Amino acid sequence: MSPEVHNSNVDSGSVAGVTSDTGAGTLNDNIVDGDTAALIDDGSPAVAGTPVPGAPGAPGDEDSLDTARRERDEYLDMVRRVQADFENYKKRMQRQQTDLVERAGENLVARLLPALDAFDLARAHLSDEENASGGVKALLQAAGLVTDALAKDGLERIDDPGAPFDPTVHDAVEHAPAEDGAESGVVADVLRAGYRWKGRVIRPAMVRVRG
């Protein structure tokens, strides 16, 4: 009977030891679970008061925000410079196109000036336009239409007897003696009319200057 009692005691101790081990295992599990909860994504334990990367207000976020703002300002300045350069380019191209058109018109008008001179000579040789033939009248009317059309587009006639001599618009080819009391340095006669095109002298008037 005694050995059986001894075995019974051994079994009870074993059961008690197992129970004790089981309790210790439960305690250890609780500790492991608590440690796991205190871990962050990188596996380091969280320390109270330490900013977590990615959380609002972290130093890394402030630096990233400053960098983003600086890059934004740089990009905005670059866009403004590019836009200003493009606007200047458009204005320059518009001026160049306008100059080309005006130059082309000026060249065309300059080639028409001999025809206008011929009309002036024909009109000067007519003693009486009212009694002129039908053909002559038609020619003079055509000359008037051409002159009017060109004047609407910017052609100005320089034909100003009695005006002060101006070397920028007058070409003095003769000098007439100044009479007593007459003002000198003025245009006595216009021998051939001059012309401006859009405010630019394309041919000075050929004149006789008094004095």
Are the beta carbons of 169 and 148 closer than 8 angstroms? Answer: no
φ, ψ of residue 58 in degrees (nearest 5): -70, 145
Question: Residue type at 112?
Answer: L
- In tens, the pLDDT along 139-180 reads 888 888 999 999 999 999 999 998 999 999 999 999 888 776
Task: Determine the average pLDDT of the residues in 13-19.
Answer: 39
pLDDT score for 29: 47
Q: Give the pLDDT of residue 27.
A: 39
User: CB neighbours of 28 closer than 8 A, spacing ≥ 6?
Assistant: none
Higher pLDDT, 10 or 154: 154
Q: Tokens 């890059």 — which residue?
A: 71
Sequence-ordered alpha helix ranges (H) in the chain = 2-37, 59-125, 134-152
What local confidence, expressed as pLDDT, does residue 128 receive? 64
> Average pLDDT for residues 5-15, to the nearest whole number?
41
**Which tens digits make up the pLDDT trace of 102-137?**
888 899 999 999 999 998 888 887 766 666 777 778
Per-residue confidence (pLDDT) for residue 178, from 0 to 100: 76
Is the Cβ–Cβ distance between 162 and 89 less than 8 Å? Answer: no
pLDDT(26) > 50:
no
Predicted local distance difference test score (pLDDT) of residue 25: 45
φ/ψ of 44, rounded to 5, equals -95, 145
Question: Which of 35-39, 100-104, 132-136, 199-203 shows the lowest per-residue confidence on average (mean pLDDT)?
Answer: 35-39
pLDDT tens figures, 39-90: 444 454 444 455 555 555 555 678 888 899 999 999 999 999 999 999 999 9
**Cα distance from N-terminal residue to C-terminal residue, the chain:** 168
Q: Which helix H or strand E contains 195, and what residues bound it?
A: strand 194-197
Res 60: pLDDT:
65
Handedness of CA 38, 40, 41, 44 (dihedral sign): negative
Give pLDDT, residue 52. 52
Amino acid residing at 211: G
- Kindly report which listed range (19-28, 67-76, 188-197) carries the lowest average pLDDT score: 19-28
Tell whether the model's pLDDT for residue 193 goes beyond 50: yes
Does pLDDT of 185 surpass 50? yes
Q: What residues contact residue 183 under an 8 Å CB cut-off, 6+ apart? A: 210, 211
Which pairing describes strands 194-197 and 155-158: parallel, antiparallel, or unpaired? Answer: antiparallel
| Cβ atoms of residues 170 and 187 within 8 Å | yes
